[in-house]
Amino acid sequence: MNALLEIGVEHLPARFMKPALAQLEKLAADLLAEKRIAYQNVHAFGTYRRLVVEIEGIADKSADVQKEVKGPPAKLLKDANGNFTPQSAGFAQKNGLAPEKLTVVETDKGPFIYANVKIKGEKTAKLLSEIFTRLVTGLEFAKNMVWEESGLRYGRPIRSLIGLYGNKVIKFTVAGVTSNRNTYPLSSFGRKPIKVAQADGAAYAELLRNQPQPILVRPQERKEALIKTVSQEAAAHGYRADLDENLVEETVWFTEHPVAVSGDFEIKFLTLPRELITTVLKKQIKMFPVLNKAGELQPYFIAVRDGISVNQNEVRDGFKKVMSARLSDAVFFFENDKKEGISSFKNKLKNISFLEGLGSMYDKSARTQQLALWLCEKTGQTALKETVDYAAAHAYADLASHVVYEFPELQGYMGAQYAALEGRKDAAKALEEFYYPLTSTSALPSTTAGQVVSLAGKIDTLVGNFLIGQIPTGSEDPFALRRQAFGAVRILLESALPVSLKELVEKAAALYPAGTTNKGLNELPAFLKARVALVLEQRGRPAALLEAAPNWYELPLTQAEALVSALETVKTDTAFAAVLEAAKRVNNILKKADVSTENVDEKRLTLPAEQALFATLQTVESTLNTLPSGADKDGYLARLKACTAFQAPLETFFKEVMVNDPDTATRQNRLALLARVRSCLSQTGADITRL
């Protein structure tokens, strides 16, 4: 048998839908587990007007359960005459048992009386009323409304409820609405009820699909229908639709039966920057742009209405009026911006605050410019200084433009448009991609100048926030600092810029005014390290090996990655594993000892095992001195493999030599020998004892 719940609501915002359905599934599973009701599957689906959960293969009753109930201390079981005491008799009666059925159980607090109670299962039909009520009232929304006397807070007012178990109605009431078996057609097609005969999700979906105005209640079916209708409408004009994934997803959640309506707009609007047009279409009025085979934007749009109507021409005209008005607004904003120019916007940044106590966006822009120019010098990109200087100086300028004020998602892109209008096409790409990468896996700035400027902006943001103690905690990250750090690390690694995070952070901090508060800058390295580990993992490296690279913060990240890669190669080598264990023992001994020198008196090395270790030490030191510094994987590998020569001598040393010799001079000499071995191992660039 199946059970089915439908919550009929007024128009829920699209962004509420996926979280609500996910909650329904989880809450249903939790409640069924709480009530001990077996089932085969729970599935939630629906539209902006109806949230549905189907429970398939639900048991007809809850499971029986044996429960041990703790009672009074065992001394109260019987009195001196061997009769049950009032306390034990009352405890037995309360739990529906004869006193003779009580048991004594030894606990950590002594013996106690226990009642072994069998709780019988209840009929599912009886329990569903409570379960359905709690399912409805248990949903949480980003924003809520109160519309009736009970004061229930909900995403939108509840207008109908269906509660079915098999073909029977389960009665319950929420917010003054009592359940029945009635659902309703599309909002624009009256309120004549549609009777749902039984709790069968497939039959329910088929019933709604076969209405005079079909309702596609399953999201995947709506998505397929949406893509089909939009694509066909574009193809009818000889073009293709820009099926933006986010817009497709949003449209699925604000329609019950998507129907495409195409129209055209005046060709003059195509003089606007492409992203401005598509942003107006996608973000403001939820329409799909139309492209030709070459991917060029065409003067057409495809809107989506909910349901079929006989007055499609009037609907099309309505959409065209809305679109024309919106694009006319965009023209107005863009033309005003062109008159003012990007330099004017830069000056207006003085009136936009960056962070409390850290000045304006104009100040931030100046610091970003200085840091970017320093990066050019540091990384040998002096040929790009003029482009970097202009791009960094104007990176935030478009924030003060009319277009970006109306369309914040166009920041960066519009800066590039305004720079190009002033003849600075060399810097336009860096400005367009200033905020890249937008996600953990999306594209980086495609030019070196763009990478330098973007990196400078991200590091300045991170340093500023940490200086004033604005540090992400748990899930709270209002300034997207994790994304900023992730982007900075990716740029450093993927563009191989020869500069360390330590140098970047220290230079950025020095650009802030003297006396700037420092509440948390010392926490930034650990924050960055977590991002470095994640990026290394994303690039296929074992992030845990970063722990064995103690100087990662002071190295260009490409070198830190090379060391991690080398460690990954040698960590399974048998000889290296033996050296690793011996190195940990060396480290542990030296931690407990007072070692003041690494100068070894060779004359005091009287045992063959310590003489052999010293000879190996000299050989390895000589080998390391002839090897390159280890800035790449091969260099690090050569150094790490050179240290495998310590395997046999260290094993023999620890078997045959007592380090803590009673003679002070002998003991100190042996400790100095081990200290020198430790120093030799550290010349690999790694602290292998952390592996």
The pLDDT tens digits for 311-343 are 788 889 999 999 999 999 999 999 999 999 999
In this structure, the answer to whether residues 464 and 368 fall within a common structural domain is: yes
Question: What are residue 300's DSSP bridge partners?
Answer: 264
Cis peptide, bond prior to residue 649, ω within 30 of zero: no
Question: What are residue 543's DSSP bridge partners?
Answer: none
E strand or H helix at 114: strand 110-119
Q: Is the pLDDT score of 454 beyond 90?
A: yes
pLDDT level of residue 372 (50, 70, 90 thresholds): very high
Burial of 407 (0-12, 13-18, 19+ CB in 10 A): buried
In this structure, the answer to whether residues 602 and 626 fall within a common structural domain is: yes
Residue with tokens 């799909």: 288
Residue that is last in its domain, among 209, 228, 245: 209
E strand or H helix at 69: strand 65-73
Please give the pLDDT value at position 192.
87
Residue with tokens 């003041």: 596
Residue at 548 is within a domain: no
In this structure, the answer to whether residues 115 and 134 fall within a common structural domain is: no
In this structure, the answer to whether residues 363 and 454 fall within a common structural domain is: yes
Please give the pLDDT value at position 623.
92
Rounded average pLDDT over 248-264: 95
Rounded average pLDDT over 358-366: 96
Return the percentage of the chain with pLDDT > 70, whole number.
99
Residue at 555 is within a domain: no
Identify whether the C-beta of residue 349 lies closer than 8 Å to the C-beta of residue 361. yes
pLDDT level of residue 689 (50, 70, 90 thresholds): confident
Chain center to CA of 200:
36
pLDDT level of residue 90 (50, 70, 90 thresholds): very high
Residue that is last in its domain, among 81, 102, 119: 119
Residue that is last in its domain, among 336, 364, 389: 336
Sheet with 258-264, edge to edge strand ranges: 240-241, 288-291, 297-306, 258-264
In this structure, the answer to whether residues 178 and 240 fall within a common structural domain is: no
- What does the alpha-carbon distance between residue 116 and residue 92 come to, in Å, rounded to a whole number? 10
Q: What is the DSSP letter of 83?
A: P
Domain count, the chain: 5
Please give the pLDDT value at position 23.
97
Please give the pLDDT value at position 437.
95
Checking DSSP bridges between strand 65-73 and strand 177-178, what pairing results, if any? Answer: unpaired
In this structure, the answer to whether residues 605 and 668 fall within a common structural domain is: yes
Identify whether the C-beta of residue 324 lies closer than 8 Å to the C-beta of residue 285. no
Tell me the residue range of the domain where 82 lies: 66-119
In this structure, the answer to whether residues 34 and 95 fall within a common structural domain is: no
Strands (DSSP E) found in 200-346: 240-241, 258-264, 288-291, 297-306
Q: Is the pLDDT score of 649 beyond 80?
A: yes
Residue at 545 is within a domain: no
Residue at 559 is within a domain: no
Return the percentage of the chain with pLDDT > 90, whole number.
82
- What does the alpha-carbon distance between residue 55 and residue 31 come to, in Å, rounded to a whole number? 12
Give the three-state DSSP class for 254: coil
Q: Which residue has the higher pLDDT, 691 or 399?
A: 399
> Considering only 283-287, 349-353, 396-400, 576-580, which range has the smallest mean pLDDT?
576-580
In this structure, the answer to whether residues 435 and 494 fall within a common structural domain is: yes
Residue at 558 is within a domain: no
pLDDT level of residue 17 (50, 70, 90 thresholds): very high
Q: What is the mean pLDDT of the chain?
A: 93
In this structure, the answer to whether residues 73 and 57 fall within a common structural domain is: no
> Considering only 11-25, 393-407, 539-553, which range has the smallest mean pLDDT?
539-553
Please give the pLDDT value at position 630.
60
Chain center to CA of 670:
52
Please give the pLDDT value at position 188.
63
* Cβ neighbours for 384, distance < 8 A, ≥ 6 positions apart: 376, 448, 449, 452
Q: Is the pLDDT score of 10 beyond 70?
A: yes
In this structure, the answer to whether residues 578 and 651 fall within a common structural domain is: yes
Q: Is the pLDDT score of 134 beyond 70?
A: yes
Please give the pLDDT value at position 685.
87
Residue with tokens 């935030």: 396
Helices (H) and strands (E) in the chain, counts: 24, 16
Residue at 562 is within a domain: no
In this structure, the answer to whether residues 159 and 101 fall within a common structural domain is: no
Q: Is 497 left (phi over 0), alpha (psi -120 to 50) or beta?
A: beta
In this structure, the answer to whether residues 655 and 668 fall within a common structural domain is: yes
Rounded average pLDDT over 475-492: 93
Please give the pLDDT value at position 118.
84
Neighbours of 176 (CB within 10 A): 11
Q: What is the pLDDT of residues 187-213, one digit of tens each?
A: 666 678 999 999 999 999 999 999 989
- What does the alpha-carbon distance between residue 97 and residue 119 come to, in Å, rounded to a whole number? 12
- What does the alpha-carbon distance between residue 515 and residue 651 come to, in Å, rounded to a whole number? 55
Residue at 557 is within a domain: no
Residue at 214 is within a domain: no
